[in-house]
């Protein structure tokens, strides 16, 4: 099992043919001050499973700062079906919209994904303080 794809974006939707349309992927955000709040962000994860994996698996994603303090936690469950030998391995496509995400301070934040006793580094985002608008003076 491994994390095949991960992103933080503005929007993501599954398509009827098994793809994911991902829009507005970003890696940095600027805020006028801290703590800062992001109205909406979408966490996208694609987990590719080993051939022997099948059944229900719980997962957890913590958005952690550089000191390992979690500001957001997402928990869920995914159903894994064992594919026939002539098909690709099973994949779970997880699209998780998160509202009102609070970032306590500037710096690097990273999603840590835990599933089936394993931990993975997910996507990260860097929060910085926006420069003051000089035209407002």
Residue 40 confidence (pLDDT): 96
Pairwise CA distance, residues 64 & 115, whole Å: 16
For residue 74, tell me if it sits in a domain: yes
Number of domain units in the chain: 1
Helix, coil or strand: residue 88: coil
For the chain, list residues with pLDDT below 70. Answer: 133-137
Residue 134 confidence (pLDDT): 47
Q: What is the CATH number of the domain that holds 58?
A: 2.60.40.1930
For residue 137, tell me if it sits in a domain: no
pLDDT averaged over every residue in the chain: 94
Asked if residue 109 lies in contact with residue 64, where contact means CB atoms within 8 angstroms, the answer is yes
Range of the domain at 32: 2-12+24-129
Q: Omega before 137 cis (within 30°)?
A: no
For the entire predicted model, the pTM comes to 0.91
Instruction: Tell me the pLDDT tens digit for each residue of 89-115.
Output: 999 999 999 999 999 999 999 999 999
């Amino acid at each position: 099992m491994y994390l095949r794809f991960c992103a933080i974006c503005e929007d993501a939707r599954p398509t009827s043919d098994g793809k994911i349309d991902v829009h507005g992927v970003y890696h940095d955000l600027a805020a006028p001050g801290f703590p800062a709040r992001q109205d909406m962000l979408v966490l996208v994860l694609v987990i590719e499973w080993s051939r022997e994996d099948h059944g229900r698996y719980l997962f957890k994603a913590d958005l952690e700062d550089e000191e390992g303090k979690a500001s957001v936690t997402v928990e869920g469950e995914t159903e894994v079906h064992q594919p026939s030998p002539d098909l690709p391995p099973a994949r779970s496509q997880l699209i998780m919209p998160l509202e009102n995400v609070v970032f306590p301070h500037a710096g690097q934040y990273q999603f840590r994904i835990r599933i089936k006793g394993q931990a993975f580094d997910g996507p990260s985002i860097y929060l910085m303080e926006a420069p003051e608008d000089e035209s407002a003076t």
